[in-house]
Chains A and B, each alone.
Chain A
């Protein structure tokens, strides 16, 4: 068994207890998971009452006292996640998240539940009882979304270029060009040709050309990468189309190995490079006019990737041995200067940063900045007339965790923009960090940080007084698995922002197993 770095960090700290205990618990958890999986699908029978309907999806909830769990036929697809193990007198009690779904004549049916599954230990581990802690059921006449890629991208080299996985390209592009298969590439929307329809720019890993897909008629794209002269073969990760020189057309900032490049638009959709700013390992870009001088400035996150052996985050739960993020002030004509220190953004600034996003969270008229950091605490840089202070701790948004993405949105429509941060939810991490003998020598603060680290995504409600409240648990938005670019969006136009969470780290070909869960 591979032991994940977070678990090694945890075990290494739990010096007063033998490691065996933790391994025993993990062993029980694995056995329990296997027993549940072997017993098959699960469903809940309960007196469900309608809690929500938008005319398409109906959400029903039930009092857990009326709910009964049973193992069901295979028409249901069920996944169990074991998120807690405790010892009982006769065996073990486990907390289990159940996600089940099926499709029948009436449409899609989904059940979510938290279960308490007790096991007897002797003679061998066996299920004693399954109790439902809470449950909900969703129905929908048809799936909310349908894949229309084939139609939408019919004039694009989709099947051969955009569709094949990075595992495929790893077998077709020489590693000497520097292909990374971890897929740290985003997507940008912008109306590059000014026809009223947003176009797509896809930064691509080394060896595959960055791709500009122009939306020529609603929902149908054509490949204009060559014509735009933006078909670069170096690895790019993120791109922003912004009129940086205020001349009325969109310019482009995008990342390359070792640098950020600025391209001017010739007014006819062709781009040429104007400046290149030395900056290794830039991940995301965020742009805003932080000093309100009329020119949009640029912030660049940087990340040393432990999965590419570039660095080992130290310490795991609060790593500050990464690279400095940089604020680039727009001086006009696509020239930028590094003002990171000058504006106070050099505080707490050697993290492993994946994402940053501007928002005026305190409604005072200037653009504040939130930075999501992997392996540790995030930054909330409050902007006071062009000068930044990291107020993450006092605002309650440090979110010590594996920060991957930032999304701002007013989910409760109170006029203060709330914050959703992608992290990773680790059932193994949940099990271990809540063990009583976990990190007994560590401070309570560190224990909490470690627990938080595996706790999943965070929804921060903006309280309007400069602070935020973590409402992830009560809002039921934390279990977003190994989350990447979460976004707020209102899918059903009911004026209430919903959340989509893209998910998963590395699934490999011919490997049906989930892989070890960090």
Chain B
């Protein structure tokens, strides 16, 4: 199509439109939501009737993909439907009571065994000599693969003949096909074979117990810890203090060997009071795990009742920083609720956070996260088991930098900038072959944080280029501990070790 004037639409309005919609969705609003699934019933003569309500399929589920399959082998097609909202999978049994019959066919090809591309014609024994045609295919609908069984509804007719046009152009004629049966048709064989299912329950991976029960609050475990930026608080006596951040320590806790469980609360929030009472009751278990609970009041300087652990008033800066962190790490544009909690390890890295009133037993169980290495933590960050084909995506701290900058929190954003600049400087000098300068900047980056992986992997590379093989090996090893499975670093480490042996 040639460029029409219609292509020159007001670019910024149009883009703003997209941004506005995406913002709306991220704020938890519906967009063409609550739309019911539709079903159109073929009346013959080219006409359909909307039978959505009588079908029992008219769920407002944000339906996506569907496949039909006779699951109960009763001769009519059941449906499997995937959805965006709960439940994300529905198994729908067809309970239409009709006197119509069917035949189900499975093809075994001589060229490609699945007979993909074969055209099947079922000829009915009726006056009109009706022919029902279907193709065996792989890939249809929306992101779906349909059943390997071809299902033909026969109304009340018999089958006079089945003709299969196989993918290599050969044609098979099959006369002995009776209604109400399932057949396997093998290319080259003269007869069809009635199929008997060999299904039997195997030694199973049956799930009897809930592995990861549905919980009423939000809980995010970070696959890679993220350094907490500085939080400003007003300690008792209205003394300004800070928590975390580059160059600061967990001063209020008075002990950098301890992890902190930061709880945001307010005296007007009933669930907060209940949650804090439960924490108080279990305080010994927190301390036993080297975790100090810290109550940060978001509205006043009031101390929680019976609270003997550290407490303070959260500044606006503190609330904003935590809010932006949770918005960024959930990709939701929804305000930080009260209560919310943040579990931060002794090194000042955010390990997990919780939105809403959280069960104390869940928190205490999550103290295990503090003892984990990064590989274990990655595993713990997903709700069920599983494997990665490539490698788990690494967190981009720039996403946080971007969010803070966008919200004009430049001081906090800077904590994510300086280290990045050092890394970029170092990389630039690597390109220029100025290895001593590259080494200097990687040193600074490793000291400054929070881009430790980039700093160590880059410095290892510079050391390797400079002939400091054992130094390179040490840095690569540190980098791999930070991001297990990184393929480039792994390969470099192997090369470095080989070099050392030589």
Assembly CA distance A492 to B201 (angstroms): 30
Q: Which residues, 167 to 183 on A, are CB-close (under 8 Å) to B?
A: 167-179, 181-183
Other 11 A-B pairs with CB < 8 A, given A203-B143, A507-B35: A139-B54, A144-B55, A166-B85, A186-B145, A191-B148, A218-B71, A225-B205, A285-B139, A318-B1, A498-B41, A506-B62
Given contacts A144-B96, A286-B138, A485-B143, is CB(A52)–CB(B41) below 8 Å? yes
In the bound complex, do residue B204 and residue A359 qualify as a contact, i.e. CB atoms below 8 Å apart?
no
B271 at the interface (CB under 8 A from A): no
Given contacts A99-B53, A190-B145, A506-B25, is CB(A198)–CB(B17) below 8 Å? no
Q: Could you list some 22 contacts between A and B, CB below 8 A?
A: A5-B21, A54-B96, A59-B41, A99-B50, A143-B95, A144-B56, A146-B95, A160-B212, A161-B383, A173-B382, A175-B329, A183-B64, A189-B145, A195-B200, A217-B201, A296-B116, A296-B138, A318-B1, A443-B4, A485-B66, A495-B154, A504-B84
In the bound complex, do residue A112 and residue B49 qualify as a contact, i.e. CB atoms below 8 Å apart?
yes
Given contacts A5-B17, A145-B94, is CB(A485)–CB(B49) below 8 Å? no
Q: What are the residues of chain B within 8 A of A461 when measuring CB–CB?
A: 46
In the bound complex, do residue B154 and residue A493 qualify as a contact, i.e. CB atoms below 8 Å apart?
yes
In the bound complex, do residue A9 and residue B40 qualify as a contact, i.e. CB atoms below 8 Å apart?
no
In the bound complex, do residue A142 and residue B90 qualify as a contact, i.e. CB atoms below 8 Å apart?
no
Q: Which residues, 184 to 221 on B, are CB-close (under 8 Å) to A?
A: 195-202, 204-207, 210-215, 218-221
State how many angstroms separate the Cβ of B438 from the closest Cβ of chain A.
Answer: 28
Q: Which of A2, A174, A257, A424 contacts B24 (CB 8 A)?
A: A2
Interface residues on B, range: 35 or more
Assembly CA distance A175 to B34 (angstroms): 25
Q: What are the residues of chain B within 8 A of A357 when measuring CB–CB?
A: 137, 139-141
Given contacts A52-B41, A165-B85, A506-B33, is CB(A185)–CB(B143) below 8 Å? yes
In the bound complex, do residue A315 and residue B67 qualify as a contact, i.e. CB atoms below 8 Å apart?
no
State how many angstroms separate the Cβ of A462 from the closest Cβ of chain B.
Answer: 11
- Per-residue 0/1 for B255-299: is the Cβ within 8 Å of any A Cβ (1 yes, 0 no)? 000000000000000000000000000000000000000000000
Chain A to chain B: the 5 pairs with minimum beta-carbon distance, closest first:
A186-B143, A143-B56, A502-B63, A485-B142, A515-B30
In the bound complex, do residue A8 and residue B13 qualify as a contact, i.e. CB atoms below 8 Å apart?
yes
Q: What are the residues of chain A within 8 A of B195 when measuring CB–CB?
A: 196
In the bound complex, do residue B62 and residue A505 qualify as a contact, i.e. CB atoms below 8 Å apart?
yes
State how many angstroms separate the Cβ of A438 from the closest Cβ of chain B.
Answer: 12
In the bound complex, do residue A493 and residue B153 qualify as a contact, i.e. CB atoms below 8 Å apart?
yes
State how many angstroms separate the Cβ of B79 from the closest Cβ of chain A.
Answer: 6
Given contacts A54-B98, A183-B64, A219-B72, is CB(A110)–CB(B153) below 8 Å? no
In the bound complex, do residue B138 and residue A218 qualify as a contact, i.e. CB atoms below 8 Å apart?
no
For B19, the closest partner residue in chain A by CB is A309
In the bound complex, do residue B133 and residue A410 qualify as a contact, i.e. CB atoms below 8 Å apart?
yes
In the bound complex, do residue A514 and residue B33 qualify as a contact, i.e. CB atoms below 8 Å apart?
yes
Assembly CA distance A504 to B77 (angstroms): 23
Number of interface residues of A (CB under 8 A): 219
**Contact segment of B384-392, B456-464, B467-475, B487-495:** B384-392
State how many angstroms separate the Cβ of A314 from the closest Cβ of chain B.
Answer: 7
In the bound complex, do residue B66 and residue A502 qualify as a contact, i.e. CB atoms below 8 Å apart?
yes
Q: Which residues, 271 to 296 on A, are CB-close (under 8 Å) to B?
A: 273, 276, 283-289, 292, 294-296
Q: What are the residues of chain A within 8 A of B153 when measuring CB–CB?
A: 490, 492-496
Assembly CA distance A72 to B388 (angstroms): 56
Q: Which of B17, B142, B200 contacts A422 (CB 8 A)?
A: B142
Q: Which of B5, B43, B130 contacts A59 (CB 8 A)?
A: B43
In the bound complex, do residue B84 and residue A59 qualify as a contact, i.e. CB atoms below 8 Å apart?
no
From A222, A239, A498, residue with most partner B Cβ within 10 Å: A498
Q: Which of A175, A287, A517 contacts B330 (CB 8 A)?
A: A175
Assembly CA distance A224 to B62 (angstroms): 27
State how many angstroms separate the Cβ of A295 from the closest Cβ of chain B.
Answer: 7
From A152, A276, A314, residue with most partner B Cβ within 10 Å: A152
In the bound complex, do residue A189 and residue B4 qualify as a contact, i.e. CB atoms below 8 Å apart?
no
Assembly CA distance A382 to B266 (angstroms): 67
- Per-residue 0/1 for B311-345: is the Cβ within 8 Å of any A Cβ (1 yes, 0 no)? 00000000000000000111110000000000000
In the bound complex, do residue A159 and residue B210 qualify as a contact, i.e. CB atoms below 8 Å apart?
yes
Given contacts A138-B53, A145-B56, is CB(A410)–CB(B201) below 8 Å? no
A92 at the interface (CB under 8 A from B): no
Q: What are the residues of chain A within 8 A of B200 when measuring CB–CB?
A: 195, 216-217
In the bound complex, do residue A504 and residue B34 qualify as a contact, i.e. CB atoms below 8 Å apart?
yes
In the bound complex, do residue A504 and residue B60 qualify as a contact, i.e. CB atoms below 8 Å apart?
yes
For A100, the closest partner residue in chain B by CB is B53
**Contact segment of A39-47, A122-130, A205-213:** A205-213
**Contact segment of B106-114, B365-373, B476-484:** B106-114
Q: Which residues, 74 to 94 on B, are CB-close (under 8 Å) to A?
A: 75-94
In the bound complex, do residue B151 and residue A408 qualify as a contact, i.e. CB atoms below 8 Å apart?
no
- Per-residue 0/1 for B115-143: is the Cβ within 8 Å of any A Cβ (1 yes, 0 no)? 01101010010000011111101111111
Given contacts A160-B212, A198-B149, A481-B35, is CB(A289)–CB(B112) below 8 Å? yes
A512 at the interface (CB under 8 A from B): yes
In the bound complex, do residue A485 and residue B112 qualify as a contact, i.e. CB atoms below 8 Å apart?
no
A90 at the interface (CB under 8 A from B): no
Assembly CA distance A157 to B212 (angstroms): 9
A466 at the interface (CB under 8 A from B): no
Assembly CA distance A7 to B14 (angstroms): 9
Assembly CA distance A18 to B312 (angstroms): 57
Given contacts A166-B84, A182-B84, A183-B84, is CB(A189)–CB(B67) below 8 Å? yes
In the bound complex, do residue B211 and residue A160 qualify as a contact, i.e. CB atoms below 8 Å apart?
yes
Assembly CA distance A461 to B355 (angstroms): 53
In the bound complex, do residue B201 and residue A216 qualify as a contact, i.e. CB atoms below 8 Å apart?
yes
A156 at the interface (CB under 8 A from B): yes
Q: What are the residues of chain B within 8 A of A145 when measuring CB–CB?
A: 55-57, 78-79, 92-95
From B16, B50, B138, B196, residue with most partner A Cβ within 10 Å: B138
Given contacts A198-B69, A285-B139, is CB(A208)–CB(B33) below 8 Å? no
Q: What are the residues of chain B within 8 A of A232 when measuring CB–CB?
A: 386-389
In the bound complex, do residue B205 and residue A227 qualify as a contact, i.e. CB atoms below 8 Å apart?
yes
State how many angstroms separate the Cβ of B339 from the closest Cβ of chain A.
Answer: 15
A155 at the interface (CB under 8 A from B): yes
Q: Which of B134, B142, B196 contacts A355 (CB 8 A)?
A: B142
In the bound complex, do residue B43 and residue A218 qualify as a contact, i.e. CB atoms below 8 Å apart?
no
Q: What are the residues of chain B within 8 A of A250 when measuring CB–CB?
A: 114
In the bound complex, do residue B169 and residue A365 qualify as a contact, i.e. CB atoms below 8 Å apart?
yes
In the bound complex, do residue A13 and residue B199 qualify as a contact, i.e. CB atoms below 8 Å apart?
no
State how many angstroms separate the Cβ of B264 from the closest Cβ of chain A.
Answer: 17
B500 at the interface (CB under 8 A from A): no
B42 at the interface (CB under 8 A from A): yes
In the bound complex, do residue A295 and residue B112 qualify as a contact, i.e. CB atoms below 8 Å apart?
yes
For A320, the closest partner residue in chain B by CB is B1
Q: What are the residues of chain B within 8 A of A225 when measuring CB–CB?
A: 205, 386
B396 at the interface (CB under 8 A from A): yes
Q: Which of A404, A490, A492, A515 contacts B29 (CB 8 A)?
A: A515
Assembly CA distance A309 to B151 (angstroms): 41
Q: What are the residues of chain A within 8 A of B72 when measuring CB–CB?
A: 218-219
Q: What are the residues of chain A within 8 A of B236 when measuring CB–CB?
A: none
Q: What are the residues of chain A within 8 A of B9 when measuring CB–CB?
A: 8-9, 12-13, 315-316
Q: What are the residues of chain B within 8 A of A288 when measuring CB–CB?
A: 116-117, 137-139
Given contacts A143-B55, A160-B211, A177-B381, is CB(A170)–CB(B332) below 8 Å? yes
State how many angstroms separate the Cβ of B39 from the closest Cβ of chain A.
Answer: 5
A226 at the interface (CB under 8 A from B): yes
Q: What are the residues of chain B within 8 A of A152 when measuring CB–CB?
A: 71, 91
In the bound complex, do residue B138 and residue A240 qualify as a contact, i.e. CB atoms below 8 Å apart?
yes
State how many angstroms separate the Cβ of B332 from the closest Cβ of chain A.
Answer: 6
Q: What are the residues of chain B within 8 A of A170 when measuring CB–CB?
A: 330-332
Q: What are the residues of chain A within 8 A of B303 when measuring CB–CB?
A: none
For A510, the closest partner residue in chain B by CB is B28
A474 at the interface (CB under 8 A from B): yes
Q: What are the residues of chain A within 8 A of B94 when measuring CB–CB?
A: 144-145, 491
In the bound complex, do residue B42 and residue A498 qualify as a contact, i.e. CB atoms below 8 Å apart?
yes
Q: What are the residues of chain B within 8 A of A295 when measuring CB–CB?
A: 112
In the bound complex, do residue B50 and residue A233 qualify as a contact, i.e. CB atoms below 8 Å apart?
no
Q: Which residues, 215 to 242 on A, are CB-close (under 8 Å) to B?
A: 215-219, 222-227, 229, 231-234, 237-242
